[in-house]
Amino acid sequence: MGKNKGHVVAVPFPAQGHMSPMLHLCKRIAADGYRVSFVNPSSIHEQMVRRWKPSPGLDIHLDQLPFSVHIPHGMDTYAALNLSWFFDELATMSASLTELLHRFSDEGAPACCVISDVFLPWTQDVANKAGIPRVVLWASGATWSVFETYAKELSERGHLPLKGKQALTFGEKLWTGTCTIDYLPGVTPLPASAIPTYMRITEKRWVELILERCESIWRRETPWILVNSFYELEQITFDSMVKEFGENYVPIGPLFLRDGRDGESAGPENVLLRDQSMESLEWLDQQKESSVLYISFGSIAAISKEQFEELSGALEDLQQPFLWVVRPELFTNFTPEFQTSYASFCERTKALGMVIPWGTQLQILQHPALGGFLTHCGWNSIIESIANGVPMIAWPWGAEQNTNAKLITVDWKVASKLPTRGYFELVPKSEIAKAIKAVTDDGQERAVLQENVQRLKKLARKAILDGGQSLLNLEKFLDQIGQWAS
C-alpha cells in the first residue's frame, strides 16, 4: 500500500448503532487515500479483531483503549440502565486517547483530526491539547441533535427532566405525559411521550451530563458537525440548525450506501461484534416476494417472557412468515420454564419462520422477500429500512427511539404504530396483530406506507449516490481533511 494522504483518528461511542455509521464514514475516508484508525474500548476491539475482514485497498487500522467495563458486544442493557455511571467511565479513557495520539506522532503518522461521537465530549479536550480539530458525528438524525443542542432550554422550561408524573424511573409507566413541546427550532410539535427517554431520567448526575454536552456544543469548538441523515428527510430541521451553526452542519447520509469510492460500498458488513447467521439469506431465497416480516430489537433492548408470548402469539395467529433476531440476552427472565416454551414455539413455527441469534441486516433489508420490519426504531434500522423501501412497525424501547417512532409514524408516515408504552409494559397480541396487518395485508394503510417509503427511498439514494446534497457535503469534508493533512 502506497503512502497515504494523512491520518484520521475515529472514536465512536461504544454501541452498535453508533459504531456502524462511524465505520461507514471511515471506509469512505480511507477510500480517498487516508489512513484511518478506528479506536474502541479493549473488549470491543477484541471482538472486532476476531471478525475483521479488511476491505481491499483501504488503510483502516483497529486500535484500542484500555477500559474497565467489559462490553464485548457494545453498550448493553446494564449500561443503558446506569447511564451516568457508564458515561463517567467512558471519560476515563481520555488519558489513554492522549497517549495514543502521542504514539502516532512518535511513529511518524500524526493524526490530522479526530472524528468522534457527540456523546464523547471529552475527546474535544484531547484534540485541543493535541492541536488538531475534532469533528462531531451525529449517529442519528438531525431532529435528535436539536434535543441535545437545546437541552438547556428544555431544562429552563421544566422539560429536562420532566416533572411529576411525566418523569421517568426505569420500570415505571413511561407514556403519561400530556404536555406538548412546540418551541424547539426545526422540530414539529410533539407530545412529551416523544422526548428521548434518557432525557426523562431524574437522576441529578445524568441531567448534569446532558447539560455539559449541551454546553460543549454551544462552545462551537468543532469546525464540522456531520449528520447521518439526508436533507430531504429532515429539511426544516437542517435549515434551522444551519442558521445557528453555519454551513458545516451537514447531512452526509445514508452513510452505509456510500462507504467506498465511486458510489460503491466497500463491503456489505456492518460493525461485527457477534457471529452472524448467513442461513437466513438462504431461507429468504425460498420465500415469496414481500411476504416476510423481519423482527429485530437491536443490540441493547430487552423484552419480558410475557411480551415474547404476546408477540409470538400474534405471529402464529396470523400465520405470518417471519425472520426474528433473538439475541441470547434479549429476554429479561429466561427461566427453565420459559426456555421450554421458547423451544416449543421455535419447533411449532419452523415451517412458518426462522429465528436467528444475529443477522446481516443490511443484506436482509435488501432482500425482495422482505415485506415489513418490526423495529425498535434505532436510527440505523430506520434509515436502512427507508433506503431499501421497506415499511416498518414502530416499537421503540429507549434513547431517542420514541422520537424516531414519532417521525416515522406521524411525520413521514412510513410505519404503522403500536400504542406507546413504557419499557416493560405489556403490548397485547391483538394490538401487535393489528400493526402487523397494516404493513402486510393489502389495503389502504399498506398502500400509503409503501408509497411514502418508496418516495423516500429514491430521495435517500439520490442524496448520496447521484450528485445529491449528502455526496457534495461528504466531498467538501474530504477536501477539508486534505487541508488539515497538508
pLDDT at residue 171, as a whole number: 35
DSSP conformation letters of 301-362: --B-HHHHHHHHHHHHHHT--EEEE--TTSBS---HHHHHHHHHHHHHTTTTEEEESSB-HH
Q: Give me the pLDDT at residue 424, please.
A: 59
Phi-psi region of 430 (alpha: psi -120 to 50; beta: other; left: phi over 0): alpha
Mean pLDDT, all residues of the chain: 90
- CA–CA distance from 71 to each of 53, 122, 423 (Å)? 21, 20, 22
Residue 430 DSSP symbol? H
261 has a pLDDT exceeding 60 = no
CA angle 447, 320, 299 (to 5 degrees): 90
pLDDT at res. 216: 93
CA distance 32 to 80: 36
Residue 253 and residue 474 in contact, taking contact as beta carbons nearer than 8 Å: no
Q: Answer whether 380's CB lies under 8 Å from 271's CB.
A: no
* 3-state helix, strand and coil shares in percent for the chain, rounded to the nearest 5: 45, 15, 40
Per-residue pLDDT, 165? 44
Question: Crossing angle of helices 204-218/142-149, nearest 10°?
Answer: 110
Contacts of 133 (CB under 8 A, 6+ apart): 113, 114, 127, 222, 223, 224, 484
Residue 116 has pLDDT above 80, yes or no: yes
> pLDDT at position 268, please?
43
256 closest CA partner among 139, 384, 404, 392: 384
Domains detected in the chain:
1-139+222-270+466-486 (3.40.50.2000), 141-220 (no CATH), 279-359+368-441 (3.40.50.2000)
Using pLDDT thresholds of 50, 70 and 90, give the confidence band for residue 422. low
Per the model's pLDDT, the better-predicted residue between 457 and 305 turns out to be 457
226 contacts 137 by C-beta, under 8 angstroms: yes
Is the pLDDT higher at 457 or at 421?
Answer: 457
Q: pLDDT tens across 373-419, in order?
A: 999 999 999 999 999 999 999 999 888 999 999 999 999 999 998 87
Task: Give tens-digit pLDDT for 44-85.
Answer: 999 999 888 878 889 999 999 999 999 999 998 899 889 999
User: Residue 217 phi/psi, 5° resolution?
Assistant: -60, -45
Stretch 477-481: mean pLDDT, rounded?
98
> Rounded to an integer, what distance in angstroms lies between the CA atom of residue 238 and that of residue 261?
26
Task: For residue 239, count other CB atoms closer than 10 A to its CB.
Answer: 13
What pLDDT, on the 0 to 100 scale, is given for residue 179?
78
Q: Cα angle at 299 between 369 and 216, to 5 degrees? A: 125
The predicted-structure confidence for 91-105, as pLDDT tens digits, reads as follows 999 999 999 999 999
Side chain identity at 399, as an amino acid letter?
Answer: A
Give pLDDT, residue 163: 57
Percent of the chain with pLDDT over 70: 92
Cα–Cα distance for residue pair 136/146, rounded to 1 Å: 14
